[in-house]
Amino acid sequence: MRVDDRVRRELIKNLKAEFTVFSNEFKRIINSMSRVSTVEKLMRLKKKLLITWLEFMPIDRHTCYFCIKDDMEEKHWLDVCKGCEYGKIHGCCVSKGSDYDKIMKELGRLIAKIEKLYVKRGERYD
């Protein structure tokens, strides 16, 4: 399958826009880190940084070649996944049990684990 140049340009534009928002948030957290006076506060911000990194993973319809292609073809929202080349291999993303669904569930679990385990409430260092 050959790349559609319009879709590629839109994908890259969207990725750059997402990166800009992510980068600004990342810098904001790092700037906050530079002003803290305790390791505990620094670690809580680092935890926030890790979660932010994961939440900005470019794995949504605005950064998916196939979704962008379907949007450009102005398909009705009910027909978007029908005939999707990615969906033929991995299952329709919005379907329970699709590869995308599995990835998003694991991502959610990873975020929850970091939230629960990385720095615990009331944690103090000597």
pTM metric for this prediction:
0.86
Higher local confidence (pLDDT), 11 or 94: 11
Average pLDDT over residues 109-121: 95
Confidence of residue 78 (pLDDT cuts 50, 70, 90): low
Confidence of residue 55 (pLDDT cuts 50, 70, 90): very high
Q: Is pLDDT above 80 for 42?
A: yes
Residue 126 resides in a domain: no
Structural domain that includes position 53: 5-118
Q: Is pLDDT above 90 for 76?
A: no
Q: Is pLDDT above 70 for 96?
A: yes
Residue 16 resides in a domain: yes
Helices (H), 3-124: 5-33, 39-55, 65-72, 85-90, 99-113
Average pLDDT over residues 57-76: 85
Residue 74 resides in a domain: yes
Average pLDDT over residues 85-107: 94
Residue 124 resides in a domain: no
Give the pLDDT of residue 89: 94
Average pLDDT over residues 29-40: 97
Residue 125 resides in a domain: no
- The tally of domains found in the chain comes to 1
- From residue 45, alpha-carbon distances to 15, 30, 82, 109, 121 in Å are 25, 8, 43, 20, 13
Residue 55 resides in a domain: yes
Q: Is pLDDT above 80 for 80?
A: no
Give the pLDDT of residue 81: 77
